[in-house]
Structure 1
Amino acid sequence: MNIAILDTQTFGDVDLSLFDRFGQVAHYQTTSAIQLVSRLQQVEVVITNKVVLDANTLAQAPQLKLICVAATGSNNIDLSAAEQLGITVCNVAGYSTASVVQHTFTLLGNLLGNQHRYIQDCRAGLWQQSQMFCRLDYAITELAGKQFMIYGYGSLGQAVAKVASAFGANVVISERKGASVVREGRVAFYDALAQADIVSLHCPLTTESRDLLSHAEFQRMKPSAVLINTARGGIVNEQALADALGDNTIAAAGVDVLSQEPASTDNPLVNYQGDNLLLTPHIAWASQESIKRLLEQIALNIDSFIAGNARNRIV
Structure 2
Amino acid sequence: MIISCSNETNIHSYSGQALGTSFKILYASDEPLKNIDVLTDSIFTEINKSLSTYISSSDISKINDDIDSIKVDTHFKKVFNKSKLIWKSTDGFFDPTIGLLVKAYGLGPKNDSKIPVNLDSIMNLTGFAKVSLKNNFIIKEKKGIYLDFNAIAKGYCVDVISNMLKNRNINNHLVEIGGEMVASGKNLVTNNFWRVGITDPLNPSSNNYIKKILLKNSALASSGNYRKYIIDNQTGKKIVHTINPKNGNAFNTNVLGVSVIAEDCITADAYATSFMAMPIEKSIKMISQLNNLEVMIIYNKEKSEVEIFSTDGF
TM-score, normalised with respect to structure 2: 0.21
Structure whose residues are more often strand by fraction: 2
Structure whose residues are more often helix by fraction: 1
